[in-house]
C-alpha cells in the first residue's frame, strides 16, 4: 500500500480481534462509556481498573495539551514569574545595601564622578571642534 493511499484510508484494523477500534470519529465519549458499561459483566475488575486508569490518563493529557495551547495564560504565567524574580532580586539588593551601606555608597559616588568626568571631556571635545 502506498503512503498516499495509507493517508487517505479511513479503515483501521484492530490491534487484537477482541479489541474495538477507536479512532475518535465514530462515537462520542458517552457512547463509548455506554459500550463499556454493556460489557460490564464480561470485564473483570482488573480490566475495568485499567479502563478507568486510561480514562484518567487521557483526561490529564487533554488538560495538558489545552494548557499548552492557551497562549494568553502562558504569557501571564511567564510575566508573573519574571515579576516575582525581579521583586526577589530587588529585595535581596535592598538587604545588601542595608547590611553594607558604606561600600555600596562609595561605588555609587565613584560611578557619579566617572560620569561627570566623561561629560566634561565630551563637552571639551565638542568645544574644540
Q: In the predicted model, is pLDDT for residue 122 greater than 80?
A: yes
- The per-residue pLDDT for 5 is 41
For the chain, the DSSP string reads: --HHHHHH------SSTTSPP--SSSS-HHHHHHHHHHTTTTS-HHHHHHHHHHHHHHHHHHHHHHHHH-HHHHHHHHHHHHHHHHHHHHHHHHHHHHH-HHHHHHHHHHHHHHHHHHHHHHHHHHHH-
Total-model pTM:
0.34
pLDDT for 8 beyond 80: no
For residues 76 and 97, what is the distance between their CA atoms, to the nearest angstrom? 31
Q: What pLDDT shows up at residue 120?
A: 92
Mean pLDDT of the chain, nearest integer: 79
Range 74-80 average pLDDT? 91
Q: Which residues contact 4 (CB under 8 A, 6 or more apart)?
A: none
Residues 6+ apart with CB under 8 A from 120: none
Q: What is the mean pLDDT of residues 72-94?
A: 91
| pLDDT tens per residue, range 67-76 | 888 888 889 9
For residue range 23-57, what is the model confidence (pLDDT) as tens digits? 666 777 788 778 777 776 667 778 778 888 888 89
Amino acid at each position: 500500500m502506498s503512503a498516499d493511499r495509507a493517508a487517505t484510508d479511513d479503515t483501521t484494523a484492530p490491534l487484537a480481534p477482541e479489541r474495538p477500534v477507536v479512532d475518535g470519529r465514530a462515537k462520542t465519549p458517552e457512547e463509548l462509556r455506554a459500550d463499556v458499561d454493556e460489557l460490564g459483566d464480561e470485564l473483570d475488575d482488573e480490566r475495568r481498573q485499567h479502563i478507568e486508569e486510561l480514562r484518567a490518563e487521557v483526561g490529564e493529557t487533554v488538560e495538558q495539551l489545552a494548557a499548552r495551547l492557551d497562549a494568553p495564560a502562558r504569557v501571564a504565567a511567564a510575566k508573573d514569574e519574571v515579576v516575582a524574580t525581579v521583586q526577589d532580586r530587588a529585595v535581596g539588593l535592598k538587604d545588601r545595601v542595608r547590611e553594607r551601606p558604606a561600600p555600596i555608597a562609595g561605588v555609587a559616588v565613584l560611578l557619579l564622578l566617572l560620569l561627570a568626568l566623561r561629560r566634561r571631556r565630551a563637552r571639551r571635545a565638542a568645544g574644540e571642534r
